[in-house]
Amino acid sequence: MKRRSIFSTALTAASLAIAMLSPMAAHAQAKTLKVIPHANLTVLDPIWTTAFISRNHGYMIYDTLFGTDLQGAIKPQMVDKWSVSKDNLNWTFTLRDGLEFHDGKPVTSEDVVASLKRWGSRDSFGGALMRSVDSWGTPDAKTFTIKLKTPFGVMLDALGKPSSNVPFIMPARIAATPGTEQIKEHIGSGPYKFNPADFKPGERVIYTKNDKYKPRSEAPNGTTGGKVVKVDRVEWVIIRDPQTQFNALVAGEVDIVEQPAFEQYASLKTQKEIEIFDMSPAGTQFIFRFNHMHPPFNNVKIRQAAMVALGQEQHLKTQVGTPGLFKFCKSMYPCGTPYASDNTGIYTGTADPKKAAAMLKEAGYDGTPVVLMRPTDLAAIAKLPLVAKQQLEAAGFKVDMPQSDWATLVARRAKKDAPNAGGWNAFMTAWTAGDILNPITMAMMNATGDKGWFGWQDDKQIEELKVKFIAAGSEAEKKKIAEQIQLRAMETASHVHLGQYNNPAAIRKNVTGLLGAGAQVYWNVTKN
């Protein structure tokens, strides 16, 4: 209550100050879009982490070679034209005119190649591309080439990947930073500029319009088309308390709450000046991720027992609750998408503590505690670990649940230390549909060991099947291989998926032009 009172007082003071401004200053204020993002921004490198808040930051300041529209079609963004040889081994791309970084330097082919190499060192899809590349070429400042060892039929899908990790383009000198390290400069060529001097972690992030950005002429669609900036400034206001977020939105002190608490939707719908808008209409999936490096989950049989212990229904009802915003889905690929399959091996999606207990005993579990991290400040997933802990303990696991904010969890999950030395055994998160449509885009299918995604699964069979998926000549063949990969992921218990849901944004009605891009993007937005 004390925090709310302080915030309320601050808002009142701010409102009085605004009322005293000259008409010109008030007009300038109206051109500032204020957004409460779903999480605190602490990692500014969208390649180093897959955190969505860092991805959203990336879309503000960087641009991409290609984008993905709402129908799933790949369209050029920074690229003007491209071609591929008859044997599908040689690709040539030409950049469009007018591309310029925020420091005034032109975007060149060398910047592109350096950026793609760094992205490929971190991303599952990018890694698959890198393994197919024979050599890179930069014949001139606007042209880059990719010579392949074997055909890579999903080249454009890779370069137009819409969500984490997105192949954002940055200056070559910055992209030279190893993928294992975070970049220290944040200069892009995108529609907004980021000023580090204005950045106050835990309080606010400010982006200003890039007046030199030249948008494409096409209408915006997903992450494609013209990125036309219609406000002077976007301010992310970091407020973690859901009720304070609600109050600020209703009072008109902020314009958008990206992810309201699920229990607030009924009240939000009664507010005349508020409407609900889903920026990720294809939905999102909850997941439980194992650390494959350390006991007890370095034992596949113990991971399998945990998979059987965890069920979707209680997680969905406890975390989401609101009818119509969640659904059961056995498939690792979102239900309703091309590769969705109910052929899931030992995984039923229904919690079975008795079977899990028998499997745990057979696996020789010695009582090693499971360190399950819980983010207390991220309302969209904060309740999930409570349910998982209960279900794992019902099967005989011992569970320790350290609690922290999401930013601390993101930093901790990158550590490979033993759980009792600052590491971890498991965490829970969520992925938008665009991230998990197929086994190449899915981070949890990166089974390259310590070079892979957090959890560091090492499985040659998954990686070999992914190569076959890429080389598949028909959609029917791809679907068959995608199902084989799903079954292998179930067999090895790469992770546990715990149902689908939607978490729409709440916006004031004087804000128009938002896009259902699958990510929170703020071009094309008008504030009246």
Q: Are residues 16 and 96 in the same domain?
A: no
Q: At what angle do helices 300-309 and 384-394 cross, to 10 degrees?
A: 110
Per the structure, how many domains does the chain have? 3
Q: Are residues 7 and 90 in the same domain?
A: no
Residue 18: its H or E element:
helix 2-19
**Residues 507, 277: contact at Cβ < 8 Å?**
yes
**Residue 81: C-alpha distances to residues 70, 77, 95, 283, 325 (Å):** 22, 10, 7, 32, 41
Q: Are residues 90 and 15 in the same domain?
A: no
> Can you tell me the distance from the alpha carbon of 72 to that of 158, in angstroms, rounded to the nearest whole number?
13
* Sequence-ordered alpha helix ranges (H) in 332-383: 353-363
What's the one-letter identity of residue 32?
A: T
Q: Are residues 297 and 392 in the same domain?
A: yes
Give domain status of residue 304, yes or no.
Answer: yes
Q: What's the rounded mean pLDDT across residues 98-114?
A: 98
Quick one: pLDDT at residue 435? 92
> Can you tell me the distance from the alpha carbon of 125 to that of 161, in angstroms, rounded to the nearest whole number?
8
Q: Is 138 left (phi over 0), alpha (psi -120 to 50) or beta?
A: beta
Q: Are residues 146 and 288 in the same domain?
A: no
The domain boundary residue, chosen from 175, 204, 219: 175
Q: Are residues 344 and 302 in the same domain?
A: yes
Instruction: Classify residue 273 by burial, with Cβ atoms within 10 Å: 0-12, 13-18, 19+.
Output: exposed
pLDDT digits (tens, 9 = 90+) for 426-441: 999 999 998 999 999 9
Q: Give residue 21's domain range.
A: 1-30
In the predicted structure, residue 311 carries a pLDDT above the cut 70? yes
Token pair recorded at residue 220: 């915006």
In the predicted structure, residue 70 carries a pLDDT above the cut 90? no
Give domain status of residue 516, yes or no.
Answer: no
Average pLDDT taken over every residue of the chain: 93
Quick one: pLDDT at residue 330? 96
Quick one: pLDDT at residue 71? 84
Quick one: pLDDT at residue 518? 87
Q: Are residues 25 and 138 in the same domain?
A: no
Quick one: pLDDT at residue 8? 43
The label of the residue with tokens 């005993």 reads 361
The label of the residue with tokens 């207390």 reads 376
CATH number for the domain including 431?
Answer: 3.10.105.10
Half-sphere exposure of 512 (CA within 13 A, CB side): 2
Q: Are residues 6 and 104 in the same domain?
A: no
Q: If you compute the radius of gyration of the chain from its CA atoms, what whole number of angstroms results?
A: 23
Instruction: Show the CA angle centred on residue 64, arms to residues 60 and 65, nearest 5°.
Output: 165
More confident residue, 434 or 348: 348
Give domain status of residue 258, yes or no.
Answer: no
Q: What's the rounded mean pLDDT across residues 461-488?
A: 94
**Residues 226, 213: contact at Cβ < 8 Å?**
no
pLDDT digits (tens, 9 = 90+) for 78-103: 999 999 999 999 999 999 999 999 99
Task: Read off the pTM.
Answer: 0.87
More confident residue, 16 or 420: 420
| Coil, strand or helix at 370 | strand
Give domain status of residue 118, yes or no.
Answer: yes
pLDDT digits (tens, 9 = 90+) for 199-254: 999 999 999 999 999 999 999 999 999 999 999 999 999 999 999 999 999 999 99
**Residues 184, 192: contact at Cβ < 8 Å?**
no
Q: What's the rounded mean pLDDT across residues 124-153?
A: 96
Quick one: pLDDT at residue 128? 92
Token pair recorded at residue 439: 């086994």
> Can you tell me the distance from the alpha carbon of 92 to that of 214, in angstroms, rounded to the nearest whole number?
23
Query: Residue 13's pLDDT band (boundaries 50, 70, 90)?
Result: very low
More confident residue, 151 or 4: 151
Q: Is 261 left (phi over 0), alpha (psi -120 to 50) or beta?
A: beta
In the predicted structure, residue 343 carries a pLDDT above the cut 90? yes
More confident residue, 36 or 16: 36
Query: Residue 352's pLDDT band (boundaries 50, 70, 90)?
Result: very high
As a whole number of Å, the end-to-end CA separation of the chain is 33
Q: At what angle do helices 353-363 and 300-309 cross, to 10 degrees?
A: 170
In the predicted structure, residue 184 carries a pLDDT above the cut 70? yes
Q: What's the rounded mean pLDDT across residues 472-487?
A: 94
Quick one: pLDDT at residue 37? 97
> Can you tell me the distance from the alpha carbon of 281 to that of 518, in angstroms, rounded to the nearest whole number?
7
Q: Are residues 170 and 292 in the same domain?
A: no
> Can you tell me the distance from the alpha carbon of 326 to that of 303, in angstroms, rounded to the nearest whole number?
26
Give domain status of residue 241, yes or no.
Answer: no
Give domain status of residue 331, yes or no.
Answer: yes
Q: Are residues 68 and 24 in the same domain?
A: no
CATH number for the domain including 123?
Answer: 3.90.76.10
Q: Are residues 8 and 67 in the same domain?
A: no
**Residues 307, 493: contact at Cβ < 8 Å?**
yes
Q: What's the rounded mean pLDDT across residues 107-116?
A: 98
DSSP state of 368: P
Q: Are residues 10 and 90 in the same domain?
A: no
Give domain status of residue 454, yes or no.
Answer: yes
As a whole-number percent, the residues of the chain with pLDDT over 70 amount to: 94
As a whole-number percent, the residues of the chain with pLDDT over 90 amount to: 89
pLDDT digits (tens, 9 = 90+) for 186-198: 999 999 999 999 9
Beta strands in 149-255 (DSSP E): 168-169, 192-194, 204-209, 233-237
Give domain status of residue 309, yes or no.
Answer: yes
In the predicted structure, residue 20 carries a pLDDT above the cut 70? no
